[in-house]
Structure 1
Amino acid sequence: MERREVDLKLNEDCVRAVLLDVEEKYKFGDFLNFKDFEEGNSSMFSEEEIEYTIIRLEEAGFIIATIQWINGAPWHISVGSLTWQGHEFLDNVRDTKIWRETKEVASKAGSVSLSMLATIASSVITKSLGLN
């Protein structure tokens, strides 16, 4: 198996795309395989970006996934459903307009965590509803 170099920076657009794909394609009791991410929202990202994102999302508790490793590299990835935390994050960033505005606000800080993105998105939603 060939070792690939992967940029170890989490791409928030890829995070959103993977979560959208899991929500749209997951069937209860089944698992998605990597081919399920080659079409749809995630198709604009490289295989390495998608793999890295899935690994991080599983680690953070946003998705249920099984990752098999060989020699320190992911060999097989199966993705189940979103977790409660994954649903909460996706619910805040699903709308394209809200997502764009969230990223615009976040860009002022340079780099922010997913939890901060969720907080910003929640603030953007609150503002758009006139609740602030």
Structure 2
Amino acid sequence: MKRDLDIIIQVLKYIEEHNTATNTIVVELEEYETEEEKENVQYQVQLLREAGYIEAKATLSPYQFYVKTMTWKGHDFLDAARDQSVVEKAKDLVKRKGLEFSTLPIDIAKDYLVHTLKSMIGL
């Protein structure tokens, strides 16, 4: 499987929307139709955990994770990727260089997002 930054952004947005300081949320993947989709999202959650973007652990149920919190790194990445127009412009910039945004190392993708955001606000 490959890392998919589009799914990673979706997962981080979901966590931010559903998480509070006093609870642990359960990320359930049952809403995805195919086993392949569920496995792919599960893989992206695992990558986020391994990279230190979220604090999470798998449950005994397949396609479920307990997410305690999003880390500082997770918030930084999500803040850079929050606006879809920023993401689309960063994707275009990367594509013009002959690369695919969704397969970039996450730190490089974040750099492209921050660069795009800065240019959009005039920095």
Shorter-chain TM-score bucket reads 0.7 to 0.9
The aligned counterpart of 2:2 is 9
Q: Please give the residue correspondences for 1:99-114 in structure 2 after superposition, counting only pairs within 5 Å.
A: 99-107=87-95, 108-110=98-100, 111-114=103-106
CA shift for structure 1 position 31: 1.6
- The 5-angstrom pairing of residues 25-104 of structure 1 reads 25-35=18-28, 46-67=37-58, 77-104=65-92
SS of equivalent to 1:34: strand
Q: CA offsets per residue over residues 21-66 of structure 1, 9 Å max, x none?
A: 000011222222233x556xx89x9211211011000000000101
Distance 2:64 2:99 in 1: 36
User: Which one of the candidate residues 109, 112, 119 is aligned to 1:120?
Assistant: 112
Q: Contact 1:102 / 1:121 at 8 angstroms: preserved in 2?
A: yes
Which amino acid in structure 2 is aligned with residue 24 of structure 1?
E
Determine the C-alpha separation between the residues in 1 that align with 2:40 and 2:108. 21
Is there any run of 5+ residues in structure 1 with no aligned partner, and where?
A: 1-7
CA gap of 1:126–1:38, structure 2 versus 1, over 3 A, is farther
CA distance in 2, matches of 1:120, 1:68: 34
1:10 maps to a residue whose letter is: R
Q: Tell which has more relative contact order, 1 or 2 (C-alpha 8 A, sep 6+).
A: 2
C-alpha distance in 1 between matches for 2:2 and 2:75:
22
Identical counterparts, % of pairs: 26
Q: Secondary structure of 1:109's match?
A: coil
Structure 2: runs of 5 or more not aligned: none
Distance change (3 Å), C-alpha of 1:76 and 1:96: closer
* More displaced 10-residue stretch of structure 1: 98-107 or 87-96: 98-107
Q: Is the 8 A contact 1:30 1:80 kept in 2?
A: yes
State the one-letter code of the partner of 1:118: K
